[in-house]
Every structure is written in C-alpha cells, then in structure tokens.
C-alpha cells in the first residue's frame, strides 16, 4: 500500500495526502486505539489530526507518541476564542499527549462572525497562539470549519492573518451546491497562490442520520456504507491537485479509505458520482441551516 505525499503548504513537511482524523480514538479503549494507530502508521500515514475536544483522543495518542513523535506531523485544535483560554487549552493538549510541542494548532470551526472577531482581537486566540509559536510550543497555526459559509470565512481569515492551513468540507454533494463550489474553489485557488495547505473533511458522508435511527453511531453523521462508493468518494477528492483528505471518526471505514487512497488515479465522472447520489440517497451534510456550528 502506497499513499502519495505532498508538501503541506509552506510548513516544510511532506504529508501523506490522507491525514488521520484522530477523533476516531476519542471513545476507544487503549488497546483498540493502539491497533488503529498501528494500521494507520503501517499504511504510510504520517500526519495525525486531533483536538482538545475529541474525547480521550489526545490521551489515546500519548503512549504511541512516546516512541514515534518524530515520525509524524502532529496537529491539534482549540475551540477557545480568548487568548488566555486558547493558551491554556494548548498547554493542556501538550500535557495530555506528553509532548513539548505540536506542529500545528488550529482554531476549530471559526465560522461565526462574533467568534471570528473575538479570536482576532489583540487579546484573542490568534495573538496568543502566535506568542506560543514564538516560544516554541507550536510551529504553525491553522484554521478549520464546517458549514456552507466556511470557505468565505476562511478567505476573511486569510486576509487577516498568515495561517498555514485551512480545513473545510469537500465532497461531491457539497460541491454540487453552486454557491459553495464557487467559494470553495476560490479558496483553493488562493491557497495555491499563497502556498497554504488545504485539508478536506466529510468525503464519505452520506448525510445526516435519519431521525428514527436507533442503531450504533460511530460518527455524528451517517457514513457511506458501500465499499465501492467509498472508493469513488475518496478518488473524487484526491483527484483535485493539492487537497488532503482527513479520515472519518468511524474507524470501521479506515481500511477502506486507506485502500482507496493507495489506488487513487483519475476522478470518477460526475455522471458516476451522481449515480451514487441517486442510488444511495446521498445528501449534503451542510445546507446553511442545521449543523453549521458543529
């Protein structure tokens, strides 16, 4: 199995185009987490993405990091907007993972205008994280988000601060929305011009859980179940030059995503992707109403 690597923006790191979304570890036992990390690492994934808010994810990573910290690019996130709280959350993440520095700290889901303003104030999260960068606690600062407004908000963020990376939803159903496609493609073009890494999420989202679903849920959205459709969804994302694909929190899908990434070539046609939409009943995860703040 061989997964393509690509320069992660201007960071100097050659990251695997598949990034391990370590939210998958949040509710796992340590033994299962160890096995999951081993699967990811053996597949050639050298970039892990976690967050202070991902349950016990950072704690589950800690034992493995003891011997392997220098083998990966490690990112975490803070949802705090004030400088003091963002600094405290970064320090807590370092303590939980048993390390003295992360490669990337990201402002998590910075989409609401009031939160954006708070984060970019002189006493806000951005200034505090820049100070932490100067002190050697983190190398780079990024910004993430969900919802249909996030591409536009990322453009605003990039006009305000020199972020190293952005993260946003990217799937056939999301980009089937003309407004979202316009904004997302404009963002990707700007990032290519400025050498900013672009991470994508929700590649294999089938849609929201039905209101009457009472089975087990391993992610907050319903994932695609059909293996061939998962492969096509992964290929569709990776066919866009420069994009990185963050894996799902449903660890049962990790092997399929890794296998698909190793065989990625050209994108499936829109006709093929639309057939999956119709056959599997796929719907956009975000529509400008619910779930914009998640």
197 located within any domain: yes
At residue 259, the pLDDT reads: 95
At residue 290, the pLDDT reads: 59
At residue 292, the pLDDT reads: 60
CATH number at residue 47: 3.20.20.100
At residue 267, the pLDDT reads: 87
Low-confidence ranges of the chain (pLDDT < 70): 1, 209, 212-213, 215, 217-218, 288-294
At residue 209, the pLDDT reads: 65
Ordered DSSP codes for 160-209: HS--SEEEEE--HHHHTSHHHHHHHHHHHHHHHHHT-EEEEE-TTEEESP
How far is it, in rounded angstroms, from Cα 169 to Cα 291?
12
137 located within any domain: yes
97 located within any domain: yes
Helical (H) or strand (E) element with 77: strand 73-78
At residue 110, the pLDDT reads: 97
Domain tally, the chain: 1
Domain containing residue 47: 5-280
For the chain, the straight-line distance linking the first and the last C-alpha, in angstroms and rounded, comes to: 33
User: Which CA distances in Å does 245 have to 82, 137, 231?
Assistant: 29, 26, 13
At residue 207, the pLDDT reads: 81
At residue 291, the pLDDT reads: 59
Closest CA to 166 of 189, 187, 136, 193: 187
At residue 141, the pLDDT reads: 98
How far is it, in rounded angstroms, from Cα 60 to Cα 65?
9
288 located within any domain: no
286 located within any domain: no
At residue 189, the pLDDT reads: 98
**Structure pTM?**
0.95
202 located within any domain: yes
At residue 152, the pLDDT reads: 97
216 located within any domain: yes
290 located within any domain: no
């Amino acid at each position: 199995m061989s997964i393509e690597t690509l320069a992660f923006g201007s960071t100097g790191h050659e990251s695997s185009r598949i990034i391990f979304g370590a939210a998958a570890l949040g509710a796992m036992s340590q033994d299962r987490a160890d096995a999951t990390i081993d699967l990811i690492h053996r597949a050639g994934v050298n970039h892990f993405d976690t967050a202070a808010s991902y349950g016990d994810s950072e704690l589950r990573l800690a034992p493995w990091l003891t011997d392997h910290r220098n083998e990966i690019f490690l990112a975490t996130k803070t949802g705090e907007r004030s400088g003091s709280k963002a600094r405290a959350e970064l320090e807590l993440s370092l303590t939980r993972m048993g390390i003295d520095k992360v490669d990337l700290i990201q402002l998590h889901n910075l989409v609401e205008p009031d939160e954006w303003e708070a984060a970019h104030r002189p006493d806000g999260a951005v200034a505090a994280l820049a100070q932490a960068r100067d002190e050697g606690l983190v190398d780079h600062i990024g910004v993430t988000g969900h919802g249909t407004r996030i591409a536009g908000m990322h453009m605003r963020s990039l006009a305000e601060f020199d972020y190293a990376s952005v993260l946003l939803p990217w799937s056939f159903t999301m980009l089937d929305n003309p407004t979202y496609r316009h904004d997302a493609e404009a963002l990707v073009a700007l990032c290519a011009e400025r050498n900013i890494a672009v991470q994508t999420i929700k590649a294999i989202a089938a849609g929201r859980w039905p209101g009457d679903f009472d089975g087990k849920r391993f992610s907050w959205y319903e994932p695609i179940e059909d293996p061939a459709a998962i492969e096509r969804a992964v290929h569709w994302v990776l066919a866009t030059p420069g994009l990185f694909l963050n894996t799902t929190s449903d660890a049962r899908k990790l092997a399929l995503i890794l296998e698909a990434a190793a065989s990625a070539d050209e994108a499936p046609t829109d006709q093929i992707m639309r057939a999956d939409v119709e056959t599997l009943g796929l719907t956009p995860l975000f529509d400008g109403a619910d779930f914009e703040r998640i």
